[in-house]
Copies of this chain bind each other. A is one copy, B any other.
Amino acid sequence: MQPAVILLSGGLDSATTLAIAREEGFAPFCLSVDYGQRHNAELKAAARVAAALGARAHRTVHIDMNQFGGSALTDPGIAVPTAGVVPGIPVTYVPARNTIMLSLALAWAEVLGSQDIYLGVNAVDYSGYPDCRPEFIRAYETLANLATKAAVEGWRLHIHAPLIEMTKAEIIGRGTELGVDFGLTVSCYQPDPEGRACGLCDACRLRRAGFETARVPDPTSYQAR
């Protein structure tokens, strides 16, 4: 089995992506990034998901992105919107986050001798982030092949974004087929210390609507109101 590096946030999408990578025959090496996110309950979820889905290894890299701020997820002074999903780039966008995470995955892949990186970005039921679009993924793959020994040694790196054209309901359906326990995952941007979801942020709204459309029971623990 060839190794693949899977970016694992602890949410629903990356858990399904891990299950897909395993289904596609790769030995999964999971990478999570503690970037100072408000919702770091997702990091505990990532560890649970990695263990449940048979990761060969799970590493967490720490980067203090609070010193840059500029996002509701990394600056405590910017509130997470709870009024519903609106068009445009929301304040939960973290500048360059996916670029940074892919770059860390690229480093580990090169050391492991892996040619395959998976990430669970999605351009359909998503939050308007520029770094979740197919043209971003294609440009990153081009870059990866120029940035590394691949450029000199004549092999190729592949960036897999298997969810990119799927709706949230389709992702939930696929994950369910592959045996993902979504009760282990955390999507909420502002969960309480026990990892219970707010039910109001964009991530909660997209997730809840996905379970409804997929006609799959929603295993999410919501905060009492």
Which residues of A line the B interface, CB within 8 A?
59, 61-65, 67-70, 88-89, 93-100, 102-104, 106-108, 110-111, 130-131, 133, 135-136, 139-140, 142-144, 146-149, 151-152
Contacting residues, chain B, for A108 (C-beta < 8 A): 68, 95
* Oligomer: number of copies: 2
Contacting residues, chain B, for A59 (C-beta < 8 A): 67
Query: A95, B148: Cβ atoms under 8 Å?
Result: yes
7 contacts between A and B (CB under 8 A): A65-B107, A89-B149, A94-B107, A95-B148, A131-B148, A133-B146, A143-B143
Contacting residues, chain B, for A152 (C-beta < 8 A): 88-89, 130
Q: How far is the CA of A1 from the CA of B133 in the complex (A)?
A: 33
Q: How far is the CA of A11 from the CA of B97 in the complex (A)?
A: 27
Query: B67, A95: Cβ atoms under 8 Å?
Result: no
Residue of B nearest to A133 (CB): B146
Q: A63-B61, A106-B99, A110-B70 in contact; A143/B148 too (CB < 8 A)?
A: no
Which residue, of A65, A98, A140, A148, has the highest number of chain B Cβ atoms within 10 A?
Answer: A148
Query: A107, B95: Cβ atoms under 8 Å?
Result: yes
Contacting residues, chain B, for A149 (C-beta < 8 A): 89, 93, 95, 130
Query: A107, B68: Cβ atoms under 8 Å?
Result: yes
Contacting residues, chain B, for A70 (C-beta < 8 A): 107, 110-111
Contacting residues, chain B, for A103 (C-beta < 8 A): 96, 99-100, 102-103
CB of A190, distance to nearest CB on chain B (Å): 21
Specify which of B68, B106, B131, B151 is in contact with A111 (CB 8 Å cutoff): B68
CB of A30, distance to nearest CB on chain B (Å): 13
Query: A130, B142: Cβ atoms under 8 Å?
Result: no
